[in-house]
Amino acid sequence: MKPLGLLFVICSLASTGFSISCKSCWHMQDSPCNGSSVACSSDQVCVASYTLVTSVISETPQYTLSCGSRSECNLNGSLTFNYGKVRTGTSCCDTDNCIPPFPTLPPVSSQKNGLTCRACFSETSDYCYTSDRVECTGDEIKCGRMGRRLSGTVTKNDALRGCATRSYCEIFGIHMVTIQGLNVDSKMFCSDGAVALHVGLFGSIVAILLTKLLF
């Protein structure tokens, strides 16, 4: 084969990207889950997400494993509302059906940062609004509202509003994924504390939140 032809073939192969398979599963435990293998899109990796929802009466863990973007790897963040706090961490690996290292959650900070946000929770609608407020701490420098619609094995709408880290506004907050028959459509709206909220951007996967309240 002529060098020019060989170069064309190499460039064509490179442009198609590389695909792997990942396990797809979720459960309400603080340990990895084991599910069926699914083919990922080109250049995706296996992403593990661990979320812990803490309230005054309980702690609810949630672990998910699925295909995702490299932009989701090795991140963490939190969202605080008037009934508790949601913390999420992610980790990744890039070989067929690999299991990523267990994700690390962000530490809980009590240092107030001067921002105050409205706070609410609804387990019947993907929108909520009240006069309640929460004082923000640590890296939670955004006011955010997240609404979710679940369908499939569970049909449910819920929403929460409060203080959020930048990672929740830009990475964790908006998500569309199907895992073991559960379809999750989650949207995050964030602001710097102004009345109007703008849509945050999303990398994918995220996390499935407040599952204890679904059952």
Q: Quote the pLDDT of residue 100.
A: 97
* C-beta neighbour count of 34 within 10 angstroms: 11
Q: Quote the pLDDT of residue 199.
A: 35
Q: Quote the pLDDT of residue 17.
A: 59
Specify whether the CB–CB gap between 184 and 176 falls below 8 A: yes
Q: Quote the pLDDT of residue 196.
A: 35
What are the phi and psi torsion angles at 71 (to 5°)? -65, -15
Specify whether the CB–CB gap between 86 and 105 falls below 8 A: no
Weakly modelled stretches of the chain, pLDDT under 70: 1-17, 173-175, 194-215
Q: Quote the pLDDT of residue 173.
A: 67
Q: Quote the pLDDT of residue 177.
A: 73
Residue type at position 164: A
> How far, in Å, are 8, 136, 137, 165, 193 from residue 116 at the CA level?
57, 6, 9, 13, 7
* C-beta neighbour count of 99 within 10 angstroms: 15
3-state SS assignment for residue 144: strand
C-alpha to C-alpha distance for 48 and 80, rounded to whole angstroms: 22
Q: Which residues contact 128 (CB under 8 A, 6 or more apart)?
A: 120, 121, 122, 145, 159, 160, 161
Q: Quote the pLDDT of residue 207.
A: 33
Q: What is the DSSP letter of 56?
A: S
Return the domain boundaries, the chain: 19-214
Q: Quote the pLDDT of residue 44.
A: 94
Joined together, the tokens standing for residue 13 give 């192969």
Residue type at position 128: C
Output the pTM of the full model. Answer: 0.78
Nearest C-alpha neighbor of 149 from the set 95, 185, 100 = 185
Q: Which residues pair with 121 in a beta bridge?
A: 160
Q: What is the pLDDT of residues 97-125, one digit of tens each?
A: 999 999 999 999 999 999 999 999 998 99
